[in-house]
Homo-oligomer: A and B are copies of this chain.
Amino acid sequence: MPVSAQPAATPAASLVDLLRGSALLASLSPERAALFATAANEKHYRKGKVLYLQDDAAEKLFFIRKGWVKLFRETLDGEEAISDILTSGHTFGETSIFFDGHYSESAQLVEDATLVEFPARLLKEEITTNPVFAQAMLSVMMKHRRRQAMEIEHLTVQNTAQRIGCFLLRLCSDKKGLGSVTLHLPYDKLLLAARLGMQPETFSRALAKLRTETNLSIQGATVVVPDLEKLVQYCCNACSNAYPCES
């Protein structure tokens, strides 16, 4: 259940701007963006809220205005495999529209979040009637494919310490130059371990190794990297991308 729903009178204009600022929805015409905004529902949810489960009918597409959302699947054994943890500006739920109309994974909030929800049929309509939108969607899909391909590469080529380092480097790709850098983990270490596909013990051992190799220190959610170049060298030599990478 949403914590609160915005009143129906919320001006659509700001939503239109928001939508047109997203990679997927930027190519909507002003008229269609207005239509999307009118059909949209902005909701606030608390951490822990399950938005949908794998195999549920896929009726909605979601845009994250604020917060963190975990996408995951469960094995028959009951183990959870996290496929992504997304934040502001990302959309999710869109891939299901192309198959049998069922979500291919489950979605749950890992922090309180504000989401904009759209009827899936709007997206379908847009793809079939607006070639520019279909191309924008293709472009977003391709980027996602590349990101997944890099993740597969890292899982097979990098060691666990390098994979944690790689995650940290992606957090500081907006930092200019090298030298000392202070970062903040976006969510807790247990979740980070799960996102990286590691058991908590494996994660702890890997983190200890990364500390020794690169001299970084972690206090709560704060990570101090005293020598970014050292971290880059340690992680990126086991990767086919150079730092800073696009994905």
Hey, which bits of chain A sit against chain B, CB under 8 A? 54, 73-77, 79, 81, 83, 95, 98-99, 104-105, 127-129, 131, 134-135, 137-139, 141-142, 144-146, 148-149, 151-153, 155-157, 197, 236-240, 242
Main secondary structure of the interface of A (DSSP, over half): helix
In the complex, chain B residues whose CB is within 8 Å of the CB of A83: 149, 152-153
Q: How far is the CA of A2 from the CA of B95 in the complex (A)?
A: 39
Q: Return 17 A-B CB contacts under 8 Å, by A number.
A: A75-B239, A76-B237, A76-B239, A76-B242, A77-B237, A79-B157, A81-B156, A95-B142, A98-B139, A99-B146, A129-B131, A131-B131, A134-B138, A141-B141, A148-B148, A148-B149, A152-B152
CB distance from A6 to the nearest CB of B (A): 31
CB contact between A138 and one of B73, B81, B138, B155 (< 8 Å): that residue: B138
Given A98-B142, A131-B131, 4 more contacts at CB 8 Å? A76-B238, A95-B142, A134-B138, A144-B145
In the complex, chain B residues whose CB is within 8 Å of the CB of A54: 240
Q: Top 6 closest A-B pairs, CB basis? A: A156-B197, A73-B240, A134-B134, A148-B148, A155-B155, A141-B141
A197 touches B95 (CB 8 A): no
B148 touches A145 (CB 8 A): yes
CB contact between A152 and one of B104, B127, B148 (< 8 Å): that residue: B148
Question: A81-B156, A149-B148 are contacts. A99–B142 as well, Cβ < 8 Å?
Answer: yes
In the complex, chain B residues whose CB is within 8 Å of the CB of A144: 145
Considering the complex, give the chain B residue whose CB is closest to the CB of A242. Answer: B76
Q: How far is the CA of A153 from the CA of B139 in the complex (A)?
A: 24
In the complex, chain B residues whose CB is within 8 Å of the CB of A145: 95, 141, 144-145, 148
In the complex, chain B residues whose CB is within 8 Å of the CB of A146: 95, 99, 104
Considering the complex, give the chain B residue whose CB is closest to the CB of A79. Answer: B157
Most buried by B among A138, A146, A155: A138
CB contact between A104 and one of B75, B149, B156 (< 8 Å): that residue: B149
Considering the complex, give the chain B residue whose CB is closest to the CB of A137. Answer: B138
CB distance from A195 to the nearest CB of B (A): 9
Q: How far is the CA of A237 from the CA of B76 in the complex (A)?
A: 5
Most buried by B among A54, A95, A238, A240: A240
CB distance from A151 to the nearest CB of B (A): 6
